Amino acid sequence: MLRSFAKTALTLALCVGAQAALAQGPEDQRQQLSEQGWAALEAGRYADAEQSYEQLGKLEPGIAEIHVTLGVIYFKEGKFEQSATELRSALQLKPGLPRVESLLAMVLSEQGHFQQALPGLEKGFHQSADPELKRMCGLRLERAYTSMHDDAEAIETALELQRVYPDDPEVLYYSSKIFGNEAFLSAQKLFQTAPKSTWGMMAAAEAHESQGNLDQAIAEYHEVLKLDPARPNVHFRIGRALLARGTNKGDAKDLEVAEMEFQRELDLNPSSANAAYELAEIYRKQGHEEQARKYFQEAVDSYPAFEEAHVGLALTQLETDPVSARAHLQKASHSILRTRWPGTDSPRRSAHWATWTNNGKPWQNSRS
């Protein structure tokens, strides 16, 4: 972040034109210092640039651009107090200097003076037309709100940053920290205030499941059902955990009970596309194509955008109803097809896939 800031600050110094301001003076000493300082600044020799511009500042204390440039140099050297002093002097001399107010706010934020920095950061983020300055102010505004424990504003800023800069790695990194911290704090409060509630135990079960602690997860999910036997998605989650545990351990009993849990989920919640899909997959792998087709169809009916279910349904129709199979395959993305097909079907079906045509052309090449 500091490297990006230094780049932005250097650009600002170039834009305000310290060298141009001094070029109007007749004195050879001023011109020489200006040229030496500017060359050092552009080359990244900040100690040399500082020396030249400090001398210029003594000779020409009324030129605001010199103060801005010194503010940039001091910032790069980590001399934040001196940087803030120079930028304030520049604003006193020439209040209309572009972007200096935002630059000062960023310096103040580096000092930890978040309350003082807030107005300038907010202005730079919400009003600046310069994408890089807007981005830098936004990142510091995000940090300022977090440090001031204003979580709602921090989250709002993070969301806006992601909207404006959706592919920026730095924006995504800091936003993920804010979202992750907020999720952690919410979960922590839930565990502290209502650990034995339905929601507290659901959160604990999901945490165990995400960490691979499947035995604990299954036990917690059963505790949830004791409190609320009709709670949607709990049987599905038990079935999913059993399926994972049974697959890892090669335990046929777990796989059998998982099938029962998915069926219980559908009995309670007939629109559960996930439970229907898992049942369909179990039956398909067992070779029970009629049953698999039935549940794949239920999954698609409940959730028409379920790409994996469309592919699964196509697999069961490929030999008996190729027209319908093609229609379902066309609803799935190529990435799903590439990951879903290999290793799951007979050589005969693989041959069907390899020769699948549409007006004489390979199907995968015929899609627009």
pLDDT of residue 333: 65
Task: Provide the pLDDT confidence category of residue 27 given band limits of 50, 70 and 90.
Answer: low
Read off the pLDDT of each residue in 114-131 and give the average, rounded to a whole number: 93
Output the average pLDDT for the chain: 83
**Residue 349 · residue 328 · CB < 8 Å:** no
Higher pLDDT: 134 or 17? It is: 134
* Polymer length of the chain: 368
Residue 362 has a pLDDT of 36
Would you state the structure tokens that stand for residue 317, as one six-digit string?
A: 């129709």
Q: Torsions phi, psi of 112, nearest 5? A: 90, 10
**Dihedral over alpha carbons 188, 190, 196, 200 (to 10 degrees):** -90
Q: Specify the pLDDT at position 346.
A: 42
User: Would you say residue 364 has pLDDT above 50?
Assistant: no
Q: Residue 35: pLDDT above 90?
A: no
In this prediction, what percent of the chain has a pLDDT beyond 90?
49
Res 332: pLDDT: 74
pLDDT of residue 111 exceeding 50, the answer is yes
Q: What is the pLDDT of residues 64-86, one digit of tens each?
A: 888 998 998 998 888 999 999 99
Residue 344's pLDDT is what?
A: 40
Confidence bin at 338 (pLDDT 50/70/90)? low
Residue 25 DSSP one-character state: -
321-345 average pLDDT score: 66
- Give this prediction's pTM: 0.57
Task: List phi, psi (to 5°) of 346.
Answer: -70, 160
Q: How confident is the model at residue 16 (pLDDT cuts 50, 70, 90)?
A: very low
* Cα dihedral across residues 217, 223, 228, 229: positive or negative: positive
Q: Which of 33, 227, 8 is nearest to 106 (CA)?
A: 8
Tens-digit pLDDT profile for residues 207-241: 899 889 999 999 999 999 999 999 999 999 999 99
Q: Is residue 347 over pLDDT 50?
A: no
Tell whether the model's pLDDT for residue 7 goes beyond 90.
no
Domain layout of the chain by residue ranges: 2-190, 192-357
Same topology between domain 2-190 and domain 192-357: yes
Q: Report whether pLDDT(135) > 90.
A: yes
Q: Which CATH superfamily is domain 2-190 in?
A: Tetratricopeptide repeat domain (1.25.40.10)
Structure tokens at 268: 């309670």
Q: How many CB atoms within 10 Å of residue 249?
A: 12
The whole-angstrom separation of Cα 161 and Cα 207 is 29
- DSSP result, 14-52: HHHTHHHHHTT---HHHHHHHHHHHHHHHHT-HHHHHHH
Classify domain 192-357 by CATH architecture. Alpha Horseshoe (1.25)
Q: How confident is the model at residue 131 (pLDDT cuts 50, 70, 90)?
A: very high
User: Above 50 in pLDDT, residue 18?
Assistant: no
